[in-house]
Structure 1
Amino acid sequence: MGPSATAVLDAPYVEALVEDGHAVLVYNKSVLKLDSWLKHHPGGDKAILHFVGRDATDQINAFHSEETKESMLRYQIGVINKNWHNFIPPIQRASDGKNILELGREKKKSERDDESGTSSPSSSVFEPSGLRNRAHGTESPTSSISSFDNKAKHETDTRKNGQKEVSHDAEENIDKTKLEEDEIVSSFRGLVADLESRGFYDCNYWAYLTEAIRISCIGTVMLLLLHFKQYFLSAIALGTFWHQLVFIAHDAGHLGITHSYQIDTLIGLALSSTLGGLSLSWWKKSHNIHHLATNSPSHDPDIQHLPFMAISPSFFSSLYSTYYDRIMLYTPFAERMMGMQQWLYYPLLCLGRFNLYALSWEHLWLDRGPKNRDMWWHRPFEIVGQLVFWYWFGYRIVYLSLPNAWMRFMFVLISHAVTMPLHVQFTLSHFAMATEPGEDAKGENGKDESWARQQLRTTMDVDCPPWMDWFHGGLQFQAIHHLFPRLPRHNLRRTSEVVKVWSKEVGLRYEVYGFVECNGRVLGRLEEVGRQARFLRDAHKSVLESKEWLRGEWE
């Protein structure tokens, strides 16, 4: 029998649950066990898996309404009464696509098959010897980290030879760095409360009326130009129409319009599928991970672009993607592409929309969305929306309205290339920023890093005049948006001024640069990574040609 929902749980007990394969995390001092909710979570199961064993309070607050947060408490199995020290979630330690529940089942099976029936408990950074069995009563489960031997990327010696106590100095150091982050966390939560009380989360619906009128006018101009056989100009107008439409779909996907899940989801699904040919369900599944694991080479799908681009030398190691559940092979082709990536950046982004089509259809065809009974209609709705899109765009416009194959090809190419600035905006705020926790990030691999520090470390904003806000659609304030993802787009500029002051008070760096400088920084990062790729390739080639390794002169 498990503990009551109000029982005080210690860290060793919670860690043992995690290592046994349970999806357990901490929210506002409550310990939540989300095993049964994983496949139903609207944001995807991996959004939860990346926070197993961690305090996810700020992340949950950022993405959920008060009503949703209250409903989460039905999964509460206990509470904690001390500051929580995070540990690395199993999904970030595993090197295959199995989730923690599958790993936990493997662990239990291996224990049943163990002829001796005993095994050495693994170490824990939370406990001295003997506490784990006491936390479990009569049970004595062992940490399944030992069953991850062929999967773990961060295996340590302390997990090989039984339990070892962390030194007193190490515990003091952990507490000290944790305290520093706790001060930032407390200040950030105060900032959120202040923004809410001042109405920053209230949507300006008149601004959306302006957006709707603008987009409708662009669509009308596109049809008029098509009618008068101004095909190239019509293609440009269509690309601009899609460019502007994405901003509203993005807002709806974050519940940043009405803050109602059902209403905003309906708006987003309708606009993205019927008018844009894209799947909002796919986008939300991918985009949520991008927000939660921003700029992590192994976890953030928005920076995983091998074999065409890489923004970190980490990709040279053929990393395992926990999002795509596969190894991102660093092939000879990828190696050659790295040397040219700063020149290919803009041309590749001209083709970015075609990639979104493929990812959308893959998601819908393979039914990769959450298995939530309240969302059963999302997939058929989007499939019908896709058919509507390809009817009016592919059949009525491209096939029936254009005179020949060459014009059809050019119309499609131009209309899609015009959306290139949108893909620049998607990548601009992240590609030049940190991909690994710096020296000021707390804990092993930054596992105790606060939400605010993580987002400001990995995201920069674009400085532009207010009259250009229509062009950027809120994406010029990506850092602000990452801190407050449900904040309505038209309030981001005001919020930016508040965050500038707050970040100085807490000692965090909020980076804002002009549009040209941001592009220069991204190209500089791509060039630097490409230079390192060329250096490694040339060094490898030199070693092979000199045959030093055959003479034992190379180590």
Structure 2
Amino acid sequence: MAPPQLSSETSVKQKEEAAGGGNYTRRFFTWEEVALRTGRIPPYEEHWLVIDRKVYDVSGFYKRHPGGARVMRHYAGQDATDAFMAFHLDKNQVNKYLKPLLIGELAPDQPDSEPNKNQLTIEDFRKLRSTVEEMGLLKPNNVFFFLVFLHIVLLDAGAWLTIWYFGSSLVPFFIGVALYTTAQCQMNWFQHDLGHLSVFSKSKWNHMLHEVIMCLMKGLSAKWWNNLHFQHHAKPNCFRKDPDLNMHPFLFVLGNKLAAELGMQKKKFMPYNHQHKYFFISGPGLLLPFFQFSVFYFTIKKKEWLELTLLTSYYIRISLMYIPIMGFKCFIMYYLLIRLFEICCFTWVSQMNHIPMHIDYDQNTDWVSAQLQATCNVDQSFFNDWFTGHLNFQIEHHLFPTMPRHNFWKVAPLVKSLCAKHGIAYQCKSLLTAFGDIVRSLKDSGQTWHDAYMHG
């Protein structure tokens, strides 16, 4: 006989009586009770989430979450099983932190995930993940990543040697800019691998090298990057949850639904019907000062003094390397051009998979549907793989964030089969088409805003 479902008040009372060390009287909850605990529905101020049918109260923990407080808050009141499995390598270690937060489990008559979700899709994806693990596709190839790092170092050294040997006249100046920009772009993708724990089998080695690479070789903060990027992966293209949408609505309106909403509200921060034109300048151009300011603001606010010291040493290092051989003014121009070209590359590559896709508020859909409606792929080729750091396989990367990028092509056919079985669109396009779709989608959403603003 199934135990009776508990009311919200009874659940909270028993939770308080049994709190401490994860030892709890066996209690059962419904999805409706969990859904109330988002921290935003008075009087239910707790933050609950579900992992593998177990219910956890993370109200006192989410601010200490190593991946950032907002990642856990984004899943408050929801099933976080697939996100949990996707982000963590060492489940046993993480379970030590979860155990004291355990307050109960779902009642036996409750489905494995929220009733509004496609249970068959969820079940099949979890089987696919087990298959992926059995195939060893989550294990990194150390030789591959060593060669990636080596070619970055050679590009970096080649830029400096060019200026040192040939001087800073026009031709060697721009050759140096090209080599250093390429090195920094490739370093973006390599630090991305480290941040996703896909270079080494042990999480701690990924974290350690990520901090060193980001601070000493890019002048950025690893923790700052983690805080933003994990939110993006947890809830891609979800307004107010994905920080990649932070420029909406101040500079751009993204997605036709949100564009129409903004137009109906008669809000006009910018002439959005021209956003596909000013994106070329304002998009990459404003990211450069934003990144520089937010990195230092974050490290100081969070009192990350080690990171602040390390990233400051990056600027000292490159100044000592370049100023003696090219002069201060020439170095400033050299550095600014490198950062501008790098941020342009980063913007176009990172947004070609997302801006043209569905953008909305969080609808709490299943993991596969949420990732597929927010991402698309770009055709595989040696150049595309190298140029984008394998982010042309954005679908596979979003479904399996810790998977080493050299295995994306192996899992892609399995993902396509899963999508075909459940009628989920799997989009793949050419690189130039993907770039063009950024502009086309901005034009469409800008026109949608304009029509709603003028006639709504």
Band the TM-score falls in, shorter-chain normalisation: 0.7 to 0.9
Cα contact 2:34–2:78 (8 A) shared by 1: no
CA shift in 2, pair 1:330/1:205, >3 Å: farther
Identity %: 21
Amino acid at match of 1:310: V
Displacement after TM superposition at 1:468 (Å): 3.5
Is 1:411 the counterpart of 2:334? The answer is: yes
Displacement after TM superposition at 1:315 (Å): 5.5
Question: Could you tell me which of 105, 110, 113 is aligned with 1:83?
Answer: 110
Q: Which residue of 1 aligns with 2:28?
A: 9
CA distance in 2, matches of 1:383, 1:207: 30
Amino acid at match of 1:214: H
CA distance in 1, matches of 2:122, 2:454: 46
Cα contact 2:259–2:449 (8 A) shared by 1: no
CA shift in 2, pair 1:217/1:464, >3 Å: same
CA distance in 2, matches of 1:311, 1:343: 14
SS in structure 1 at match of 2:124: helix
Deviations 1:100-146 (CA, angstroms, capped at 9, x unpaired) = xxxxxxxxxxxxxxxxxxxxxxxxxxxxxxxxxxxxxxxxxxxxxxx
Displacement after TM superposition at 1:237 (Å): 1.4
Q: Which residue of 1 aligns with 2:302?
A: 367
CA distance in 2, matches of 1:15, 1:246: 38
Deviations 1:428-448 (CA, angstroms, capped at 9, x unpaired) = 1000000138xxxxxxx633x
CA shift in 2, pair 1:515/1:285, >3 Å: same
Cα contact 1:53–1:86 (8 A) shared by 2: no
Question: Could you tell me which of 213, 224, 247 is aligned with 1:305?
Answer: 247
Question: Could you tell me which of 337, 340, 354 is aligned with 1:430?
Answer: 354
Alignment of 1:37-116 (within 5 A): 37-64=61-88, 65-71=90-96, 72-80=98-106, 81-83=108-110
Question: Could you tell me which of 213, 223, 227 is aligned with 1:285?
Answer: 227
CA distance in 1, matches of 2:137, 2:190: 18
Alignment of 1:387-406 (within 5 A): 387-393=312-318, 395-397=319-321, 399-403=323-327, 405=329
Cα contact 1:236–1:414 (8 A) shared by 2: no
Cα contact 2:259–2:445 (8 A) shared by 1: no
Cα contact 1:303–1:310 (8 A) shared by 2: no
Cα contact 2:149–2:190 (8 A) shared by 1: no
303-312 or 190-199, which deviates more: 303-312
Cα contact 1:297–1:303 (8 A) shared by 2: yes
Displacement after TM superposition at 1:316 (Å): 7.0
CA distance in 2, matches of 1:539, 1:85: 45
Q: Which residue of 2 aligns with 1:357?
A: 292
CA distance in 2, matches of 1:353, 1:282: 15
Displacement after TM superposition at 1:234 (Å): 1.0
CA distance in 1, matches of 2:173, 2:113: 57
Q: Which residue of 2 aligns with 1:527?
A: 443
SS in structure 1 at match of 2:199: coil
Is 1:459 the counterpart of 2:375? The answer is: yes
Displacement after TM superposition at 1:478 (Å): 1.2
CA shift in 2, pair 1:330/1:264, >3 Å: farther
CA distance in 2, matches of 1:217, 1:202: 26
Larger Cα-atom Rg: 1
CA shift in 2, pair 1:367/1:49, >3 Å: same
CA shift in 2, pair 1:436/1:242, >3 Å: same
SS in structure 2 at match of 1:25: strand
Cα contact 1:276–1:389 (8 A) shared by 2: yes
CA distance in 1, matches of 2:371, 2:242: 13
CA distance in 1, matches of 2:203, 2:266: 40
Displacement after TM superposition at 1:185 (Å): 0.4
Amino acid at match of 2:451: F
Displacement after TM superposition at 1:298 (Å): 2.3
Q: Which residue of 2 aligns with 1:250?
A: 192
Runs of at least 5 residues in structure 2 that lack an aligned partner in the other structure? 1-12, 19-23
Aligned residues: 419
Displacement after TM superposition at 1:504 (Å): 0.9
CA distance in 2, matches of 1:193, 1:403: 57
CA distance in 2, matches of 1:305, 1:414: 23
Amino acid at match of 1:203: P
Displacement after TM superposition at 1:500 (Å): 1.3
Deviations 1:27-56 (CA, angstroms, capped at 9, x unpaired) = 111111112212210011111111111111
Deviations 1:301-341 (CA, angstroms, capped at 9, x unpaired) = 1022143223235267679xxxxxxxxx9965x322x2332
Amino acid at match of 1:77: I
CA shift in 2, pair 1:330/1:292, >3 Å: farther
- Computed over aligned residues only, the root mean square deviation of the Cα atoms, in angstroms, reads 2.5
Cα contact 2:357–2:376 (8 A) shared by 1: yes
Amino acid at match of 2:308: I
CA shift in 2, pair 1:316/1:285, >3 Å: farther
Amino acid at match of 2:91: E
Displacement after TM superposition at 1:460 (Å): 0.4
Cα contact 1:55–1:84 (8 A) shared by 2: no
Runs of at least 5 residues in structure 1 that lack an aligned partner in the other structure? 88-174, 320-328, 369-378, 438-444, 541-555
Cα contact 2:198–2:402 (8 A) shared by 1: yes
Q: Which residue of 1 aligns with 2:10?
A: none
Cα contact 2:262–2:449 (8 A) shared by 1: no
SS in structure 2 at match of 1:418: helix
CA distance in 1, matches of 2:408, 2:127: 18
Deviations 1:168-207 (CA, angstroms, capped at 9, x unpaired) = xxxxxxx5x54xx110000000000000001101101110
Displacement after TM superposition at 1:498 (Å): 2.0
Amino acid at match of 1:343: K
Alignment of 1:197-216 (within 5 A): 197-216=134-153
The runs of 4+ residues in structure 1 deviating greater than 6 Å are none
CA distance in 2, matches of 1:240, 1:21: 48
Cα contact 2:138–2:404 (8 A) shared by 1: yes
Displacement after TM superposition at 1:281 (Å): 0.6
Deviations 1:439-480 (CA, angstroms, capped at 9, x unpaired) = xxxxxx633x11011100110011131353221112111111
CA distance in 2, matches of 1:410, 1:308: 27
Displacement after TM superposition at 1:220 (Å): 1.3
- TM-score between the two structures when normalised by the length of structure 2: 0.85
CA shift in 2, pair 1:291/1:404, >3 Å: closer
CA distance in 1, matches of 2:101, 2:409: 37
CA distance in 1, matches of 2:338, 2:266: 32
Displacement after TM superposition at 1:264 (Å): 0.7
Amino acid at match of 1:302: D
Cα contact 2:273–2:447 (8 A) shared by 1: yes
CA distance in 1, matches of 2:199, 2:174: 34
Displacement after TM superposition at 1:239 (Å): 1.1
